[in-house]
């Protein structure tokens, strides 16, 4: 126990320790932190502490507090200056909590922005636990981004999985409960692969440092680590958890989910696997895969989730290309994507929040009731489709251009094809079938539909402004990228090319509108094996195993029970006279202990699971450290 306490103390001091943090990007922000010299405050600590204190905040101050904490985190990420901080030395290796360089700065910045927008969007939610789960999730993402060694990466990686699942469970539907368990199952499997890979890597190289792996001579360890990363990036065939879970999240939980898991994975891939050839092919497959499933999808949020797969495909392909321009493009696209995808999830989340519906076959014609939500969602749709003057235009094209430059023409053309598909669905299908099209609303849905509360509108407005700002003023984003940018998106050729593709895609959409009318169906994806596999296991447990159990019981009854009865009579005498006295005494004490334990055990399966996994994680770390 005392060893565990020492571990906690060391980790805590590591997070807020060592190295001076002088002058940041923003002098105001760095001057803002009343830190004794020599302390380094990890942005994730603000979120974790802020979350822990949230239940103590009086309800009239809650809204301000909810906005204050993400603002502090944002200010803190702005104040970070390049360097290595928060190093903790154990026996013969080092945990690094704060590796701040160009790559981690840009990702940390956008995660903090997403945290603020997401919290503002759900600020009217009364249940503290939802905010705590979301902040812990963001803390996991920030912790991964600033981590300099693989063990720290793993710890925060798992923190993300175990906190984000609550954003699905809190929806409270039976489906969300099941989807949450499936989500956890998949992520635990990915985590195990990651940990195994890390252990093998450390064993082989002796180094815990998280840097570029040898992508030209990958070992089993490299593959396992990459497997863990690409599972979180939702690369097929490891992607089915994403639409499954994000379609079932709470209205604001999915806004968080859409930003952090996949983009943290993109960060990790940029860091560790830039130039890994196979990622180009995987990225292109992803980009098209999401598009195909989006045609079939009836649930607006699941459609958006499939388009996360599609968009992350561009980033993964960028990582695979691995040139400075491609990595810049992957970072820029992750940055832009977090904002516009958050915006799209906010728009559809607002419809869900106000009407209780997210399926196209239950919606339609809502522009009369929610016109501003429509405009914001449309801005998100135009941004993801890479219309000139919107954010996607300046980020996505960088990756495609890098593809052409590397003479991977097939990749570049297929990515162009995917962007036609993106506009088709997210820019046209989503707005059209929710706000226009045939009005499928039930009277109750129609009555409930209205613009969402002010904080949700404000969050959407901020994200919209940022999407347009990034698209119009390129230096804002380009200056933050890890490498110097030698790329100009606004050439006459590129603008003309993009407008032609998108407008003629629009023409195709309206000509084939009848084919695109959503139907009340679901599409089988690669979650089928484990959804049905689980059922096969249950059937096995129920039928053959049960039958076997019955047979054994019968044999036992015939062959064992009768002789047993005889001997039991003898024992009975001994028991009544001798043992009872002793046992009764014990039983009394056990009953008293039991009733005490019962009051601590409330049957909340999820909480118990989280506690168990938390304890297991701590034990695992302790084990790694001392043995």
Partner 1 sequence: MKLVRFIDFFRDRLKLVIRGCYVVLALLVLIDALPFLVDKQHAHTSAEKFPFFWAAFGFLGCVLIILASKAFGKAGIMKREDYYDE
Q: Which is nearer to partner 1, 128 or 451 (CB)?
A: 451
Binding of partner 1 by 490 (CB under 8 A): no
Question: Which listed residue (512, 517, 541, 564) binds partner 1 by CB under 8 A?
Answer: 512
**Distance between CA atoms of residues 567 and 574, nearest Å:** 11
461 near partner 1, judged by CB under 8 A: no
Dihedral sign from CA coordinates of 123, 126, 127, 132? positive
Buried b (16+ CB within 10 A) or exposed e, 570-586: eeeeeeeeeeeeeeeee
Beta bridge partners of 95: 88
Integer Cα distance of 263 and 314 in angstroms: 12
Which one, 130 or 527, has the nearer CB to partner 1?
527
Contacting residue, 281, 296, 389, 468, with partner 1 by CB under 8 A? 296
d(CA 354, CA 370): 10
Smallest gap, in angstroms, from Cβ of residue 287 to partner 1?
12
Smaller CB separation from partner 1, 438 or 535? 535
Nearer to partner 1, 504 or 574 (CB): 504
Please, what is the minimum distance in Å from the beta carbon of residue 307 to partner 1? 13
Nearer residue to partner 1 within complex by CB, 204 or 524: 524
Residue number with CB closer to partner 1 (223 or 367): 367
Binder among 503, 579, 587, 604 for partner 1 (CB under 8 A): 503
Residue 497 within binding range of partner 1, rule CB under 8 A = yes
Answer yes or no whether residue 272 interacts with partner 1 by CB under 8 A: no
For the bound state, the minimum distance from the C-beta of residue 374 to partner 1, rounded and expressed in Å, comes to: 8
Element (H, E) at 90: strand 83-90
CB of 496 to partner 1, least distance (A): 5
305 binds partner 1 (CB under 8 A): no
Best CA proximity match to 253, nearest among 56, 452, 118: 118
The rounded distance, in Å, linking the Cα atoms of 373 and 353 is 12
Cβ neighbours around 507 below 10 Å, total:
9
Residues 6+ positions from 354 with CB-CB distance below 8 Å: 370, 448, 449, 450, 451, 452
Q: 329-368 mask for partner 1 (x: CB under 8 A)?
A: --------------------------------------xx
Three-class SS state of 98: strand
Measured CA to CA in angstroms, residue 515 lies from 7, 93, 508 at distances of 60, 60, 11
Q: Give min distance, CB of 415 to partner 1, in A.
A: 11
- Position 514 contacts partner 1 (CB under 8 A): no
**For residue 237, is the peptide bond before it cis, meaning its omega torsion is within 30 degrees of 0?**
yes
Q: Which is nearer to partner 1, 38 or 533 (CB)?
A: 533
b/e map of 346-372 (b: 16 or more CB within 10 Å)?
bbbbbbbbbbebbbbbbbbbbeebbee
3-state secondary structure 377-396: HHHHHHHHCCCCCCHHHHHH
How many Å is the Cα radius of gyration of the chain? 27
Quick one: 436 or 473, whose CB is closer to partner 1? 436
325 lies in the binding site for partner 1 (CB under 8 A): no
CB of 538 to partner 1, least distance (A): 9
- Return the residue of 26, 33, 181, 404 that touches partner 1, per CB under 8 A: 404
Q: Distance between CA atoms of 220 and 196, rounded to whole angstroms? A: 10
The answer to whether 185 contacts partner 1 (rule: CB under 8 A) is no
Q: Restricting to residues 517-546, which ones interact with partner 1 according to CB under 8 A?
A: 519-524, 531, 535
Please pick, from the candidates 49, 185, 499, 545, the single residue that binds partner 1 as defined by CB under 8 A.
499
Interaction between residue 421 and partner 1 (CB under 8 A) = yes
Closest CA relative to residue 149, chosen from 139, 157, 161: 157
Compare residues 196 and 526 and give the one whose CB is closer to partner 1: 526
Rule CB under 8 A: which of 275-294 touch partner 1? 291-293
Q: What is the DSSP letter of 359?
A: B
Size of the site for partner 1 (CB under 8 A): 46
Q: Residue 398 or 502: which CB sits closer to partner 1?
A: 502
Q: How far apart are CA 348 and CA 365, in angstroms?
A: 14
3-state secondary structure of 436: coil
11 to 70, contacts with partner 1 by CB under 8 A? Answer: none
**Residue 209, helix vs strand vs coil:** strand
Q: Which is nearer to partner 1, 23 or 409 (CB)?
A: 409
3-state secondary structure of 93: strand
- Distance, CA of 276 to CA of 136 (rounded, Å): 31
Candidate residues 26, 32, 372, 446; the one interacting with partner 1 per rule CB under 8 A? 372
Residue of the chain from 77, 250, 377, 505 that contacts partner 1 (CB under 8 A): 505
Label each residue of 241-296 as H, E or C. Answer: HHHHHHCCCCCCHHHHHHHHHHHHHHHHHHHHHCCCCHHHHHHHHHHHHHHHHHHH
CB atoms inside a 10 Å sphere around CB 151: 22
Comparison of 227 and 236: residue with beta carbon closer to partner 1: 236
**Least Å from the CB of residue 297 to partner 1:** 10
Determine which residue in the list 8, 454, 469, 504 makes contact with partner 1, applying CB under 8 A.
Answer: 504
Shortest separation between residue 491's beta carbon and partner 1, angstroms: 5
Of the residues 35, 295, 389, 610, which one makes contact with partner 1 according to CB under 8 A: 295
Stated as kind and residue range, the H or E segment containing 95 is strand 93-100
Q: Of 238, 398, 399, 424, which lies in the binding site for partner 1, with binding defined by CB under 8 A?
A: 424
Q: Long-range contacts for 535-544 (Cβ within 8 Å, ≥24 apart)?
A: none
Q: Is 442 in the site for partner 1 (CB under 8 A)?
A: no
In whole angstroms, give the CA distance from residue 308 to residue 547. 46
Start-end of H helices in 122-248: 128-146, 150-169, 174-205, 220-232, 241-246
**The only residue of 126, 493, 558, 589 in contact with partner 1, by rule CB under 8 A:** 493
Residue 609 binds to partner 1 (criterion: CB under 8 A): no
Q: Does 398 bind partner 1 (CB under 8 A)?
A: no
| Closest distance to partner 1 from the beta carbon of 523 (Å) | 5
User: Least distance (Å) from partner 1 to the CB of residue 438?
Assistant: 14
Q: For residue 98, list its beta bridge partners.
A: 85
Task: Tell me which residues touch partner 1 (CB under 8 A).
Answer: 291-293, 295-296, 367-368, 371-372, 375, 404, 409, 412, 416-417, 420-421, 424, 491-494, 496-497, 499-509, 512, 515-516, 519-524, 531, 535
């Amino acid at each position: 126990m005392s060893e565990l306490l020492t571990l906690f103390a060391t980790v805590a001091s590591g997070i807020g320790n060592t190295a001076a943090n002088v002058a940041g990007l923003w002098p105001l922000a760095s001057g803002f932190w009343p830190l004794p010299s020599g302390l380094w405050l990890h942005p994730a600590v603000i979120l974790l502490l802020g979350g822990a204190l949230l239940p103590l905040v009086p309800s009239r101050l809650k809204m301000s507090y909810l906005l204050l904490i993400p603002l502090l985190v944002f200010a803190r990420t702005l104040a970070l200056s390049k360097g290595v901080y928060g190093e903790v030395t154990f026996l013969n290796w080092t945990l690094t909590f704060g590796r701040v360089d160009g790559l981690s700065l840009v990702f940390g910045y956008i995660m903090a922005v997403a945290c603020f927008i997401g919290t503002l969007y759900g600020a009217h939610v009364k249940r503290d636990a939802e905010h705590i789960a979301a902040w812990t999730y963001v803390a996991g993402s920030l912790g991964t981004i600033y981590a300099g060694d693989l063990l720290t990466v793993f710890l925060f990686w798992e923190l993300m999985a175990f906190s984000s699942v609550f954003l699905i469970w809190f929806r409270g539907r039976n489906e969300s409960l099941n989807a949450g368990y499936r989500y956890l199952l998949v992520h635990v499997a990915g985590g195990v692969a990651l940990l195994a890979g890390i252990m093998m890597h450390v064993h082989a190289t002796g180094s815990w440092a998280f840097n570029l792996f040898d992508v030209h001579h990958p070992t089993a360890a490299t593959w396992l680590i990459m497997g863990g990363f690409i599972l979180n990036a939702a690369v097929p065939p490891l992607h089915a958890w994403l639409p499954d879970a994000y379609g079932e999240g709470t209205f604001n939980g999915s806004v968080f989910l859409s930003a952090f898991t996949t983009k943290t994975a993109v960060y990790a891939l940029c860091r560790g696997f830039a130039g890994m050839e196979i990622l180009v092919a995987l990225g292109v497959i992803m980009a098209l895969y999401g598009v195909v499933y989006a045609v079939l999808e009836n649930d607006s949020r699941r459609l958006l989730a499939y388009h996360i797969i599609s968009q992350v495909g561009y980033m993964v392909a960028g990582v695979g290309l691995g040139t400075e321009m491609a990595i810049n493009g992957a970072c820029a696209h992750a940055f832009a994507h977090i904002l516009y995808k958050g915006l799209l999830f906010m728009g559809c989340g607002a419809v869900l929040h106000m009407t209780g519906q997210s399926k196209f076959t239950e919606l339609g014609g809502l522009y009369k009731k929610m016109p501003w939500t429509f405009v914001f969602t449309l801005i998100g749709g135009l941004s993801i489709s890479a219309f000139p003057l919107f954010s996607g235009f300046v980020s996505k094209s960088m990756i495609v251009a890098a593809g052409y430059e590397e003479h991977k023409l097939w990749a570049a053309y297929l990515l162009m094809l995917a962007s036609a598909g993106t506009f088709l669905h997210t820019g046209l299908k989503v707005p059209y079938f929710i706000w226009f099209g045939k009005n499928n609303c039930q009277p109750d849905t129609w009555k409930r539909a209205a613009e969402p509360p002010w904080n949700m509108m404000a969050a959407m407005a901020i994200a919209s402004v940022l999407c347009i700002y990034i698209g119009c003023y390129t230096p804002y984003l380009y200056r933050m990228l890890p490498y110097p940018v030698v790329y100009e998106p606004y050439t006459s050729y590129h603008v003309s090319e993009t407008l032609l593709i998108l407008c003629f895609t629009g023409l195709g959409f309206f000509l084939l509108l009848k084919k695109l009318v959503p139907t009340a169906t679901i599409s089988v994806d690669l979650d089928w094996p484990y959804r049905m596999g689980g059922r096969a296991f249950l059937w096995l447990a129920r039928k053959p195993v049960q039958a076997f159990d019955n047979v054994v019981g019968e044999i036992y009854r015939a062959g064992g029970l009768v002789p047993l009865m005889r001997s039991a009579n003898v024992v009975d005498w001994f028991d009544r006279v001798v043992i009872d006295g002793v046992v009764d005494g014990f039983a009394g004490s056990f009953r008293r202990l039991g009733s005490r334990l019962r009051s601590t055990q409330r049957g909340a399966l999820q909480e118990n699971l989280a506690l168990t996994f938390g304890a297991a994680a701590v034990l695992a770390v302790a084990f790694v450290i001392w043995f």
